[in-house]
Amino acid sequence: MTITPLDRHIAAVTGTTRAERDAIEAYQLSRLRGTVTRAKRSGRFYRRHFTDVDPAAIDSLEKLSLLPFTLPSDIAAAPYDFLCVSPRDVSRIVTVSTSGTTGRPKRVFFSPEDQERTVDFFHHGMSTFTSPEDTVMIGMPGKTPGSVGDLLAQGLSRLGCRVVPYGPIMDFDDAIATLRREGVTVLVGIPCQALSLARRMMQRGIRHTMHSVLLSADYIPAPAASIVHEAWGAGLYPHFGMTETGYGGAVACRAHAGMHIREADLLFEIIDPLSQTPLKDGETGELVVTTLTRKAMPLIRYRTGDLARITSQTCPCGSMVRRLERVFGRIHSGVSLRSGGHVSPHGLDDALWADPSVLSWSAAVEHTPEGESLCVTVEAEPFDEVRLLDAVKRAVVIPQDSPPPRIVVTHGRADFLTTGTLKRTIAVR
């Protein structure tokens, strides 16, 4: 088993030859104190938010839990209050829409150094399964300088492999032609788009072999590994990242046992989303992120809204770099039904992609004078309404003694395939 290349990368940053917990944690503590000091001194938000915080009192990583949280709504309310550098030192501003009812978008700022660190992480992270002989197709937005696809392309170029910048996959005939024409051996994609491509190729009997597929930017459905293996003979490498983590966050190794965290730049915690207290290793809760090296916009105890589980046990690959064992999707992406039931995009993802006929899906909860309906549009070949209805029913959590909700399954192409939305939601109308 090859150890994750992130091990040597993180060890080099922390001043050792092999990543060891003591060295990583000493480095993280020193960076944490530096980040808190600088954020409080240079940014308006943390100056207010940390009025009672003394950085010198943070003498262990456990003391992190004494600091107040930063919420997505804090960023949306006053993004410029987070800036800790002069605006002329900002090289990229990303606007991220929020799921809240205010509709006010978040703005996230990066300096050239911040972007360089992400390129460096992508370079080492992608070397887990990519070598100079490979041709990598990037199915992520990459037209704008500093976008996720652009930074990934820069990291891959350092690895010496050939890069095919493509962008979100929405025209499947074109994507298939590109895979074959360019001789693509590694695909980086958005989960539902890559899976939809895989299923279409399988159904049409189009053969194309790739050795690795990296999925990121949204929930990775449970059947994803078997789908990419069946379609392309590829191994699945999940990646977790969000704009707020500087796109890169954690990536799987060859042990396929979770994603090694970008520990030189990020500190991950898991908290109970209700009591807001830290949870132990192996417990599932909300992922909270602290940046350790971010120049333009440091974030301290930022609540991601993602449900996840972390382990500090040594990986089967031999590395002690902590792992995100699994990311279970967004806590608030589900919809509570009036009948008492609950439905989430990740529940539907797991249930529907397990059916080999499914090519794409989208869902909405609709309210009419007749009552409430869960309307699921499924593109499937063949379209077997009864079987797909059963799959949707398995995804809906219904409390005992509650009446089952009305579910309507119709045939059609999912709207995310035409809009290119990265994170899918269930519409309520």
Chain contacts with Zn ion (rule: CB under 5 A): 4, 253, 255, 315, 317, 319
State the Cα–Cα distance between residues 350 and 342, nearest whole angstrom: 15
Distance CA 363, CA 390 (A): 15
SS3 string, 235-291, reads EEEEEECCHHHCCCCEEECCCCCCEEECCCCEEEEEECCCCCCECCCCCEEEEEEEE
Our CB check for Zn ion shows the closer of 197 and 253 to be 253
Q: How far apart are CA 238 and CA 217, in angstroms?
A: 10
The residue (of 115 and 319) whose beta carbon lies closer to Zn ion is 319
How far is Cα 25 from Cα 15, in angstroms, rounded to an integer?
A: 12
CB half-sphere exposure, 36, CA atoms < 13 A: 25
The secondary element (H helix, E strand) that includes residue 359 is strand 358-368
Smaller CB separation from Zn ion, 315 or 359: 315
- Separation of first and last alpha carbons in the chain: 50
Question: Considering beta carbons, is residue 222 or 255 the nearer one to Zn ion?
Answer: 255
Rounded to a whole number of angstroms, the minimum distance from the CB of residue 220 to Zn ion is 17
DSSP 104-140: PPEEEEE-HHHHHHHHHHHHHHHTTT--TT-EEEEES
Q: How far is the CB of 260 from Zn ion (least distance, A)?
A: 6
Q: Name the residue nearer to Zn ion (CB basis): 153 or 317.
A: 317
> Which CB sits closer to Zn ion, 250 or 317?
317
| Nearer Cβ to Zn ion (278/318) | 318
Of 4 and 111, the one with the shorter C-beta distance to Zn ion is 4
Could you give the CA distance from residue 310 to residue 322 in angstroms, rounded to a whole number? 7
Cβ 336 vs Cβ 342: under 8 Å: yes
Q: Could you write out the DSSP letters of every residue in 375-421?
A: EEEEEESS--HHHHHHHHHHHSB--TTPPPPEEEEEE---THHHH--
Q: Which is nearer to Zn ion, 195 or 251 (CB)?
A: 251
Count CB-CB contacts under 10 A for residue 128.
Answer: 20
Minimal distance in Å, beta carbon 263 to Zn ion?
Answer: 13
Question: What is 361-378 written as a DSSP string?
Answer: EEEEEEEETTEEEEEEEE
Sequence-distant (≥ 6) Cβ neighbours of residue 385 within 8 angstroms: 409, 411
User: Measured from the CB atom, is 266 or 317 closer to Zn ion?
Assistant: 317
Total length of the chain: 429
How many Å apart are CA 229 and CA 166, to the nearest integer? 22
Least Å distance, CB 329 to Zn ion, is: 23
* Residue 317 or 391 having the CB closest to Zn ion: 317
